[in-house]
A and B are shown apart, each in its own frame.
Chain A
Amino acid sequence: AQTVTQSQPEMSVQEAETVTLSCTYDTSESDYYLFWYKQPPSRQMILVIRQEAYKQQNATENRFSVNFQKAAKSFSLKISDSQLGDAAMYFCAYRSAYNYGQNFVFGPGTRLSVLP
């Protein structure tokens, strides 16, 4: 079974600075997808960014980018120019490309605080 680990329960960053959230995963599969979701206090999970494992190029969405290291099974999220609205729980998630019905495996989350 796949597992996802987020080793930083809490992180903080100064407004306008850059922060990196860590995620590692364990799998024996070669094809899969990785996601970062944000969950603000409103509780609704919001997709931040996604990465296909077969793509070597790291995904980027505006201020959000990932560092995907397939061999190391690492998938970190970098937030540049942090804003107060970025404060939330961030979850890393894995989805197998072979077993669609098994859906996502989530990590335990990292709580990000943004300091003004």
Chain B
Amino acid sequence: ETGVTQSPTHLIKTRGQQVTLRCSSQSGHNTVSWYQQALGQGPQFIFQYYREEENGRGNFPPRFSGLQFPNYSSELNVNALELDDSALYLCASSLAWDSVGTQYFGPGTRLTVL
């Protein structure tokens, strides 16, 4: 069974640039969620994708957007990067019909905005 993978591991960008982060969900999982984890804090929910559509969103501005592909992999796009966007970005996958909704996390992408 393949776990959740994310790429790249680390990324350095400058303010105002755009970035795309990628995630492959665990085998058989059809739902993908993205989280932002600032240093020393707990993860904050960005959004969730199911059947290639966003079906839930946290308190993040529209410059945070995403995609889910037919193979359930996903992308997180952030436009007009700000210094405060520096964080660990976590992807998590789950099964839509698992009522408990247990999420399985990837290792994260560390984004640094200079």
Interface residue ranges, A against B (CB under 8 Å):
4, 33, 35, 37, 42-47, 50, 52, 91, 93, 95, 97, 99-109
Contacts and interface: CB of A to CB of B under 8 A. Distances in A.
Nearest to A100: B101
Contact of A44 (B100, B103, B105): B105
A99 B42 CA distance: 20
Given A97-B99, A100-B101, A103-B48, A43 B88 contact: yes
Nearest to A9: B40
Highest count of chain A CB atoms <10 Å: which of B42, B92, B103, B104: B42
B90 A45 contact: yes
Given A45-B90, A47-B102, A99-B56, A105 B108 contact: no
Contacts, number: 67
B55 A95 contact: no
Contact of B101 (A44, A45, A95): A95
Given A33-B100, A33-B101, A50-B100, A103 B42 contact: no
- Nearest 5 pairs of A and B residues by beta carbon: A101-B56, A106-B42, A45-B105, A101-B55, A44-B107
Contacts of B96: 100
Contacts of B106: 44
Given A33-B100, A45-B105, A47-B104, A91 B42 contact: yes
A108 B41 contact: yes
